[in-house]
Chains A and B, each alone.
Chain A
Amino acid sequence: MTIKLGVPSKGRLMDKTFDWFQSRGVTLSRTGSNREYAGAVAGIDGVDLVLLSAGEIPRELMAGRIHLGVTGTDLVREKLGRWEQQVEEVAPMGFGKADLIIAVPSCWVDVNTLDDLDAAAAAFREHHGYRMRIATKYHRLVREYLRDNGVADYQLVDSQGATEGTVKNLTAEAVADITSTGETLWANHLKILLDGPILRSQATLWRSRMTEPNDADRATQSQLLNMLG
């Protein structure tokens, strides 16, 4: 058996993850052709690299098919119920930082807080006959946040990409999305509510609580975590 380490399979997130491990003496690399999702680990024996979409890593940790995995706090919180019992946070990695926020059109000069949003949603529903639409892919996190803050008369509409464009395209009135600089929001004439983010997220190394390594693997895992810690 081996310890299975799941990391994002492409893009900046993969590169930064490789750098982070490299600076701790563990060399991760992709092998084979550029298109093949196979990887290698050097600097420690008994660890297998599993390249996955960042969005699938929470599910694989929950299923116990990987022992360790790198993905954003946002994805773990969104996709796993009672996440603390399924995964353990090993180390925040200091990159991939982004906030999950709610944004409304800048031309809504009357709306700056959740309290405003709730009042605007009530009036909007009376006026237009439907609940104010908030476009997002973070359904659970946003719904819990709005419920805890007593916002009513809204609906979440699914948006898996280009969420900032939904208001202009008239498919939503507001958005809840992840942002690091806010630039895409400004460019799309949106502003962030002042109440603070729903969640501050960053790339994080997680350990699955759903699988127990055997003795040999446990030794490997401790050795790896020592190098990373």
Chain B
Amino acid sequence: MSTKAKVRARAAQLRRAFEDAGGEFVEAAMLQPAEILLDLYGEDIRARAYVTSDALRGEQMLRPDFTVPVVQMHMDHGAEPARYTYAGEVFRRQEDDDTRESEYVQVGFEIFDREEPAAADAEVFSVIGDTLSGVSLRAATGDIGILTAAVRGLETTERRKRALLRHIWRPRRFRALLDRFSGRGRKVSSRTTLIQSSDPMKHDFPDIGMRTQTEVAERIDALREDAAAPPISAREVGLIDALLNVRETLPFALEHLRDLAVDMPAITDATLRLQERIEAMSARGVDVTNLEFEASYGRTSMEYYDGFVFGFYAPGRADLPPVATGGRYDALTRVLGQGSEIPAVGGVIRPGLLLDLEVSA
């Protein structure tokens, strides 16, 4: 394992490369208010981040990444468009695998730009890719926006679409919901009884807690509406499956998605955006003909990515985490901006991993 001083020096080089690419150097506090991160990522983040507390400020987290503080800083007083770079330790709690590091350095590059998302995606990918050119890495790309577009376009109730979108980042749960909404899931007898009951709200249980009986009644209405709605057709489920299975080099993937868009017009715009991105990447000299694309890539990461996603991996080293990862996170800025939003894309490199590979290369 590389020593800390070497990692710091390598991080400084990477940061300078990002500064040369137009990134303004910014810093972020190591302690971040836990509440914001918990609201964004949910309780799961407690398993991945160190939580501490004091009697005055309450719960704080050792920063698990820079994205949230950088977005907040930008939304408070950033000029537009903006490019940022940063370098420093992040902390990830490890409960199951002690070979994974719990403290490591990240160097990042982020672009906040309203005008040309495809160009910004391509810029982040190629700026990060260029700094990694000294080692042989496999790049993977994906686009969560295509799957969300497909879900939004399903011929079914808004409620079902919202439920599916809410679980885009939990593939197993997403699958279970899709099965249920398409009539393939196992029927739950307690629910059938409830829906068939003539007056389920008539009961003798005392009304306790903050969740009101009105909310209970509303949910029963929703369940009844759902039971009465026709299932999502096998044809549409088949199209979603076909979409999720797209895994080819970019030009073939684009062809494949265009074919799917004939039957699934909802993904037409998202496919066009992919095409624009491919063109922008190609214009920057990225070898798109050999670049892999996986439609389901990036769905299990903790990040809040909702569009373009990418990662760089050491071939033959499945034991190592990716050397670099990134993606577009427009929705995150919407949540943190409380009304305002700014399209954003960025990525991070782990100089510690990069150094190890450079040394052994």
Contact surface of A with B, Cβ cutoff 8 Å = 81-82, 105-113, 115-116, 118-120, 122-124, 127-128, 131-132, 139-140, 143-144, 146-147, 149-150, 152-156, 167-168, 170, 173, 189, 194
Contact = CB atoms under 8 A, between A and B. Distances in A.
Contact of B43 (A109, A156, A173): A156
Nearest to A109: B200
Contact of B190 (A81, A139, A153, A194): A194
Contacts of A127: 215
Given A107-B206, A119-B163, A144-B47, A131 B211 contact: no
Contacts of B205: 105-107, 109, 189
A151 B205 CA distance: 26
Nearest to B173: A150
A109 B206 CA distance: 12
Contacts of A170: 209-210
Contacts of A124: 211, 215
Interface in B53-89: none
Given A81-B96, A105-B205, A143 B211 contact: no
Interface residues of B, number: 39
A84 to B, nearest CB: 11
A194 B186 CA distance: 15
Q: With a 10 A CB-CB cut-off, give which of A107, A116, A124 has the most chain B CB atoms.
A: A107
Contacts of A140: 47, 95
A11 to B, nearest CB: 30
B188 interface: yes
A112 B195 CA distance: 13
Given A147-B44, A152-B42, A168-B208, A110 B95 contact: no
B96 A110 contact: no
Nearest to A153: B42
Contacts of B166: 122, 152
Contact of A109 (B98, B167, B216): B216
Interface string B96-109: 10100000000000
B184 interface: no
B219 interface: yes
5 contacts: A107-B209, A109-B194, A110-B223, A154-B42, A189-B205
Interface in B197-236: 200-201, 203, 205-211, 213, 215-216, 218-220, 222-223
Given A109-B201, A144-B47, A147-B47, 4 more contacts: A123-B219, A139-B46, A167-B208, A173-B211
Nearest to B219: A110
A131 B39 CA distance: 8
Contacts of B172: 150
B170 interface: yes
A116 B191 contact: yes
A111 B203 CA distance: 14
Contacts of B173: 118, 149-150
A105 B208 contact: yes
Nearest 5 interchain pairs by C-beta: A150-B173, A112-B190, A106-B205, A107-B205, A110-B219
B38 interface: yes
B43 A120 contact: no
A110 B43 contact: no
A155 B38 contact: yes
Given A150-B167, A150-B172, A107 B207 contact: yes
Contacts of B208: 105, 107, 167-168, 189
B9 interface: no
Nearest to B195: A110
Contacts of B39: 131
Given A107-B203, A143-B46, A150-B170, A119 B219 contact: yes
